[in-house]
Structure 1
Amino acid sequence: MSDSILAIDFGTSNSLVGAYHNGKTVAALPLDPKANDPTLMRTLLYFPNPDLCYYGVEAIDQYIEQDMEGRLFRSFKSHLPNQNYLGTVLDNRILTLESMVGIFLLELKKRAEKALDTSVERAVIGRPARYSMDAVADGFALHRMEKAAQWAGFKEVQFVPEPLAAAFDYRRQIDKEKIVLIGDFGGGTSDFTLIKLRPEGFDKKDVLAIDGCPLAGDALDSLFMSNKLNEHFGAKSRYRLPLSSNVLTMPLGVSQKLNHPAHIVHLKEKDTYEFIREVRKCTITGKDKTAIDRLFILLEDQQIFPFFERIEKTKRDLSQQDQTVFDFNYPGLETTEDFKSSQFVEWAQDTRTRIFEALDRCLESAGLRSDQVDLVCLTGGTAKVPFIQKELQDRFGQQRLQTQSHFHSVLGGLVESAAFWGKGQKVVD
């Protein structure tokens, strides 16, 4: 058994792996030969049947090639703090969330071991500052990650906050001590670390504060569904149960799953699916019934993934222009809607407030004002959303903002954390 340590950035949307190997750091290992960037693997699982699984770009390719049969899972990391979500069922076989995450971590481990030509039993794995604002749920999520890492075959694991890892990566760029705020805006969480950085050396006391919230890119994507698009798929459909005069609307539990890219796939689970079929039988108008028929096409023809990919493109378009057209042309699901950036800003007000409340808590916990921060280092795609950028500019000034490599900054810090561990020093207790 080697002394190598893997550094795993297990992300909501994308994952990367580096290593501390033979006394040296390895920045990023090739994981997905089909990806534009082979070091970057989409966090996707595709099961055409319970006995076979595909990952990354191949998951998408096989999903399309096999006529979108089976189950494609994305953003499953976001379920970790949800104590009510135990997993799913594949053809009467139970697939727990821990084993779902473990299956993906095991594949990362196998591909990394192949690249290093050695087996590895230790790993540094990134974690959000907070999986949940609830302390119990946050602890539950970390416990699940520990179980998943054991499932994947790791004997020892150290979990390092992702914004702290990004801070380590940024340290390479400074030549004197600075107080730095790291803002890591990913798919599932927005995380902040205030740290005293210097070119060499590290002491745990240098970490002044860490905070965050479980809202980021996926939460912003879901706004397009919840505010406009979901009515095309029965979220507002009305129905009347037999022998009742009460007019009901599609239950909130169904529409909430419909709105979120990580949750919508679970509308296909038997009890929920059968309930929606019963609602369809009891709809009041033809329009209500048609909307639910469209939902069945979305689910049965496996159009969830491409539909949400189109939503994500709409979000990116609105980061560069004042308005755009959402246009989805699959037969039976034809949907065209105009969106304005001003609408997006309005819909995102609560999400933006909660993200920056986490930043304010971080500053308060460190006993610092915004003008005492020397540099602000931003990572993650959501950091590029204009209203996020503007809020940061208003607080810190444009001259103090710096944007790091979108995907590799957290990994760089995790690799450095693995090197600390390999030399006998742990970054966190």
Structure 2
Amino acid sequence: MAAIGIDYGTSNSEVVYFDGQQHHFVKLDPSLEAANKIRSSVFIYYKEELPRPPIPMIEAKIAQLKRAISDQIEKAKEGYYEAPDPREQRIHSNRIDELRAEFHNLPVLQERAIELLLENMTVQDLPLQQLVATGEFAFGEEGFRRYLKTPEKGRLIYSPKNFLGANLVAGQQEAFVGLIAKQLEFFRLSAEQQLGQSVDTAVIGRPVRFHGTRGQDGNKQAIDIMTQAATMAGFSKVDFLEEPIAAAYKIERTLDKHTNVLVVDIGGGTTDICCIKLSPEKLANVDRQQDVMSVTGTRLGGMECDKNLIIKSIAPTMGQGLLMYNGLPVPPAYYSDMCAVDDIPKLNRFFSDDYWLDISNTKSLLKEPKLLERLLEVQEEKLSARLVNSSRLAKELLSSKDEIILPLHYIEEDYDVKLNVDELKRSMQSWLARVKSLVTECLENSSEPPEMLFITGGMSLSPIVKKELLDLLPGLPVMEGDAFNSVCEGLGIQAAKLSNSIPS
């Protein structure tokens, strides 16, 4: 039996097995050159027809049909009482009997209700729980390509991890258990196939604080969902390790003496920081909590930068800031709602017919309505996730270029947006201030100062982020390491310890 580490990230996920000496990355996405890393997004879709509508929708439609039949009965009664002769009264009486029989024929009403619902129902009308229970799953680039090609056939959950600590309504918690179980099972089966042995144990990375606004209740809910999902996915033993501590376990194997290290892990959805005592003498120790001098984190990751870049630099080309005839601006909420790919209720509201009508009414009140047509296109074609992904790509390109042209031709033909690194810096200012505040908090809470700095996570590759952190921590030596794999490798090391693959 093998034990694996799973870095279940906001943007990407990966799986690794550590044999005590070497890390073995599990290939998860053959379509990519770096096949061990996979998008965390999931596309749930239907190849053919949609499933039977949920019971509440059927019951509501049946009630609507019954109201219509009742109205017809009342009209038939009026006809009966107003009929001038017995023959016409019999016609109305027979009609009343037919309608009453129809009113009480539940199987026929149910069949008719389902037929009517399926005529107009879309995937967006299905509750997430039913979607998870009945849909097909596509992971990684395969899922994203399916979404780009046929968004109307399914629903893209851009970042499942971001919902785990949120206030989930009835049925949603069970839905996310089922959804994540599918992902974890895919990881487990991939590992078993490539390692040639059964996998029963997993150490899964977790942020210090999960994305959400519910504090410790949200963290507990997130761990509960992940634990249930891991059990459903076929793992008999699962443990969780805070991501910056996992990264510390990886870099500890490169040290030749006791060192206090400040680990700053800036991922797609969260920023997590710890100050920890590391030593080559403690490599085999399973429990290291006594070595953690300070740890902190918040729901503050690279995805916020993607959204901020849209709001600051792309949204103005879609009508943001335009004034209506009454002198009021186009509602700014249009654009924040458009970017809410990690908030299912808000995104569903943005994609609703009522929201389309609201934007259309606003468009009619503008002197120059053309720009708002781009916003309507995103709303009608459900292109929010694609736009946020484009912004992420722009952010990455601006890490090595001073200026780029971002093509958004899927929104409008020849629609290009010119972006430069100064705009990116401006869009990141408030975000960077919060990150630096978090670093300062961790340092203030630590019983001893750090002797080295290690920056990891996807955002650590940004020259803007790196410069701000080095300016905040002048003179602190920086450890070089893998920005993407350090956390997962540390999780693999911990998994090996739990399975006794690393001798004490």
The normalised TM-score by structure 2 is: 0.72
Could you say which residue in structure 1 is the equivalent of 2:280?
A: 199
Task: Give, as a single letter, the amino acid of the residue that structure 2 aligns with 1:217.
Answer: G
Q: Is the 8 A contact 2:318 2:375 kept in 1?
A: yes
In structure 1, how many angstroms separate the alpha carbons of the residues matched to 2:231 and 2:446? 34
The residue type paired with residue 206 of structure 1 is D
What does 1:78-93 correspond to in 2, within 5 Å?
Answer: 78-84=162-168
* Contact 2:203 2:240 (C-alpha < 8 Å) held by counterparts: yes
Matches within 5 A, 1:28-427: 28-49=25-46, 50=131, 51-64=135-148, 66=150, 69-84=153-168, 96-132=175-211, 134-201=215-282, 202=285, 203-233=288-318, 250=331, 252=333, 254-263=334-343, 269=348, 273-283=352-362, 284-285=364-365, 290=370, 293-301=373-381, 303-330=383-410, 332=412, 334-368=414-448, 372-397=449-474, 400-423=477-500
**Cα distance in 2 between the residues matched to 1:331 and 1:167:** 43
- Which residues in structure 2 correspond to 1:6-45 (within 5 Å)? 6-19=4-17, 26-45=23-42
Taking the aligned partners of 2:427 and 2:411, their CA distance within structure 1 comes to 29
Inter-CA distance 75–205: structure 2 relative to 1 (3 Å threshold): same
SS in 2 for 1:118: coil
User: For residues 287 and 112 of structure 1, what CA distance do their matches in structure 2 show?
Assistant: 59
Instruction: Determine if contact 1:222/1:261 at 8 Å carries over to the other structure.
Output: no
Residues 5-61 of structure 1 show CA distances to partners (whole Å, capped at 9, x for unaligned) of 22111011111112356x776431222222211211221212232531111122233
Aligned to 2:100: none
Q: How far did residue 117 of structure 1 move?
A: 3.0
**Where do 5+ consecutive residues of structure 2 fail to align?**
47-130
Distance 1:291 1:101, change over 3 A: farther
Contact 1:25 1:416 in 2 (8 A): no
Task: Answer yes or no: is the 8 Å Cα contact 1:218–1:261 preserved in 2.
Answer: no
Structure-2 separation of matches of 1:218 and 1:85: 24
Any stretches of 5+ residues in structure 1 without a counterpart? 89-93
- Do the aligned residues in 2 keep the contact of 1:130 with 1:213 (CA within 8 Å)? yes
Distance 2:294 2:216 in 1: 16
> Percent of counterpart pairs with the same letter?
25
- Name the amino acid aligned to 2:189: K
Contact between 2:453 and 2:476, CA under 8 Å: does it hold in 1?
no
Q: What SS is found at the alignment partner of 2:26?
A: coil
Alpha-carbon separation, structure 1, partners of 2:411 and 2:465? 36
- In 1, distance between residues paired with 2:183 and 2:368? 39
Q: Distance in 1 between the 2:272 and 2:223 partners? A: 16
* Counterpart-to-counterpart distance in 2, 1:395 and 1:214: 21
* 8 Å Cα contact 1:294/1:333 also seen in 2: no
3-state secondary structure, aligned to 1:418 = helix
- Are 2:274 and 2:292, in contact at CA under 8 Å, matched by a contact in 1? yes
Letter of the 1:199 partner, please give it: P
Larger % of strand: which? Answer: 1
Counterpart residue identity of residue 294, structure 1: R
For 1:379, the aligned partner's letter is: T
**2:294 touches 2:446 (CA, 8 Å); kept in 1?**
yes
Corresponding position of 1:91: none
Quick check: 2:351–2:379 contact (8 Å CA) kept in 1?
no
1:85 and 1:308 map into 2 onto residues whose CA distance is 25
Q: Distance in 2 between matches of 1:86 and 1:221?
A: 30
Give the distance between the partners of 2:175 and 2:328, measured in 1 at CA. 37
Using a 3 Å threshold, how does the CA distance of structure 1 residues 234 and 142 change in structure 2: closer, same or farther? Answer: farther
Using a 3 Å threshold, how does the CA distance of structure 1 residues 282 and 300 change in structure 2: closer, same or farther? closer
Going from structure 1 to structure 2, the CA distance change for 1:223 and 1:280 (only over 3 Å counts) comes to closer
Size of the alignment, in residue pairs? 408
- Bigger helix fraction: 2
Query: 2: CA distance between counterparts of 1:223 and 1:270?
Result: 20
Partners in 1 of 2:499 and 2:157 — Cα distance? 34
1:67–1:77 distance in 2 versus 1, CA, 3 Å: closer
